[in-house]
Structure formats: C-alpha cells, structure tokens
Amino acid sequence: VCNLGFVIWDLGFKFLEQKMKIVSYQKTKFIIFLIVFAFFFTAAILRNPIWKNRLTLWKHVVERSPEKARGHYNLGNAFTALNMYEEAIREYRIAVNIDPYFFQGNVHGALGIVYVRKGLLDEAFNEFQAALKINPHSARPHYGLGIIYEQKGNLDEAIREYKLAAAIEPNYAEPYAALGIVYGKKDMLIEARNALEAAVNLQPEKAYPHYNLAVTLDRLDDYKNAIQHYREFLENVSRDDKSAQV
C-alpha cells in the first residue's frame, strides 16, 4: 500500500510538472499528498465493514474466492463460534468437497465437533474417523471420539481415546479435564485428581476443571484444597468461560 502511494505520488508530480508546467514545487507536492491521502482514506472507510468481525471478513473472502477451501473452513469456524451450526456445517461441507485433505483433515474434525454439539453422534463418529485416516497423529479427533464414547456410556473406550489425545498433544488441556470426569464416574478418584490437576495447570483460567477437581478433592476428604479450587471456580466462572462446551 505504501509503495503504491509513493508511485502515485511520483507519477502525479511528474505529470503535473511536465504537462501543466506548475511552478510551485512545494504547492504541487502538497496537492498530490492530499489526493493520495484522500484515495487511501476512502479505501480504508470502504473496507472497514469487511474487517468488523471474523464473520464479515470470511464472508468477504468466500465471495472473492469461492473455489478455495480455506475461506469456507474459516467461515465455518466463524459460524461455529456463534452457535450457527447449520451454516457451519454447510461451509465445512463445501470445504471438504473442494479439498478433503485441507489442513490435514481438520475440516472433518471441525464437522465432528459441530455434529456432537447437535447430538448427531453417528455423523460425528464418521467425521472423526475420516480425520484420523488423513492424519493418524492428530489429537483432537481422538478427543472427539472420547466424547462420543463417554456420551454413549462406554467409559473404558472413552478413557482410551482421551489418553491417546493427551499422549499425542501433552499441552492439550481438554483431554485431561475429560479424563478426570470419566475417572470420577468410575470412582477412580486418585486418577481423576491427577488428570484434573493436569488440566488446571495447563489452563488455570478455565472454570469447570477447577469445579470438578474441587468435587474430587471433596470426595477424597481433602477439604482444604477443595475449598481453594471452589474459589478458583467462582473467580473464573463469571468470565466468558467456554470450558463446559465441547
């Protein structure tokens, strides 16, 4: 943008100097500066609504390049963030049709998460499996499969998938938080405590892992530490915390 401005400046000055034979050098430069400034100021105003938020930005990208998977994938993410799941599914599907291998299969994983949120577990299962076929070393599809198994009551399979996700991506907090819940359901309280401690260490700002850890510590008669994590929960839950969602 800056280079284009200087080119316009230079060409404009030479044109006025040679064709119009303007005598005042400083006056001419000032006039051209005003023209260039007005041009870019107007362009910025016209583009400002496009950059207002992620949704308008990626809608604009898709309108300009409808044949590219990246725009549809990111527009799907923007719709997902707004809980507009039907629109998200549509965009993810378009991205998959354009390039099934885009972003190492993460489009399938994103589709799977949306299907889980809609309660369509069989469709979600297929998407997570498709993602793992493209990239077997991706943690998030394993986490998604763990959610499905947990919701279907198959806790041992859920544990296996959550542990795979944590092993692949050790700094990914959600599998540890989920493991803590499943271990708690199975009354494996030491394992639950260890998993939840890992989750809150990785993401101390998330509220619900603190709550689940407090409940677990309460069950272990560790009341002092339980109270501390109840307090952490109350401090964090007032924020825009999404940790209870998939």
pLDDT (average), residues 28-49: 54
**Residue whose C-alpha is closest to residue 111's, from 151, 79, 67, 152:** 79
pLDDT higher at 229 or 237: 229
Q: At 31, phi and psi to the nearest 5?
A: -65, -45
* pLDDT value of residue 79: 97
In this structure, the dihedral spanned by the alpha carbons of residues 51, 239, 89 and 61, taken in order and rounded to 10 degrees, is: 10
Burial of residue 200 (CB within 10 Å: 0-12, 13-18, 19+) is: buried
* Cβ-contact 202, 196 below 8 angstroms: no
Model confidence at 62, pLDDT cuts 50, 70, 90, reads very high
* Nearby residues of 191 by Cβ (< 8 Å), 6 or more positions away: 179, 183
* Cβ-contact 59, 71 below 8 angstroms: no
In this structure, the dihedral spanned by the alpha carbons of residues 214, 218, 221 and 226, taken in order and rounded to 10 degrees, is: 30
pLDDT (average), residues 72-101: 96
Q: What is the pLDDT of residues 131-178, one digit of tens each?
A: 999 999 999 999 999 999 999 999 999 999 999 999 999 999 999 999
Average pLDDT, the chain: 85
Q: What is the pLDDT of residues 64-73, one digit of tens each?
A: 999 999 999 9
Tokens 């993602």 found at: 131
Inform me whether the pLDDT recorded for 188 exceeds 70. yes
* pLDDT value of residue 53: 83
* pLDDT value of residue 246: 45
Model confidence at 45, pLDDT cuts 50, 70, 90, reads very low
Q: What is the pLDDT of residues 206-228, one digit of tens each?
A: 999 999 999 999 999 999 999 99
* pLDDT value of residue 104: 86
* pLDDT value of residue 54: 86
